[in-house]
Amino acid sequence: MKIERGRPGFLTDWRPNAKLRSRLELLRYRVLGTEIDKGILFKLVVYFVLINVAFIYLKPILYMVTTMVKDAKNILDPSVIWVPKSIYLGHLQEASHMLNYGKSFLISVSLATSVSVLQMFSCAIAGYAFARLDFPLKKLWGALLLFTFIMPPQVTILPTIMLFKQFGWMNTFLPMVVPALFGHGLKGAMFVIIYRSFYSTLPKELDEAARIDGAGMLRMFFRVMFPISRSATVVVLLFAFVWNWNDFYFPSLFMFTAENVPLSITLARMAGEMEQAAGAGEITVYAESIKMAASFLIIMPLLVVYLFMQRWFIEGVERSGLVE
Residue ranges covered by each domain of the chain: 26-91, 100-283
Residue 117 scores a pLDDT above 90 = yes
Max mean pLDDT range (39-53, 62-76, 237-251): 237-251
Q: Options 3.40.50.1970, 1.10.3720.10, 3.20.20.70, 1.10.10.10; which CATH number does 100-283 get?
A: 1.10.3720.10
- Are the C-beta atoms of 298 and 267 separated by less than 8 Å? yes
Q: Using alpha carbons, list the distances in angstroms from residue 300 to 60, 64, 268, 287, 324.
A: 14, 12, 17, 20, 31
Residue 187 scores a pLDDT above 50 = yes
* Span 261-305, pLDDT tens digits: 999 999 999 988 888 877 776 667 778 889 999 999 999 999 899
- Are the C-beta atoms of 224 and 215 separated by less than 8 Å? yes
Element (H, E) at 290: helix 287-319
Instruction: Give me the amino acid identity at 292.
Output: M
Instruction: Give me the amino acid identity at 139.
Output: K
Residue 10 scores a pLDDT above 70 = no
Among left, alpha and beta (phi > 0; psi -120 to 50; other), residue 33 is left
pLDDT at 283: 60
d(CA 15, CA 23): 12
Percent of the chain with pLDDT over 70: 85
d(CA 210, CA 206): 6
Sequential DSSP letters for 159-190? HHHHHHHHHT-TTSSHHHHHHHHTT-STTHHH
Q: Where are the alpha helices (DSSP H) in 213-283?
A: 217-220, 230-246, 249-254, 263-279
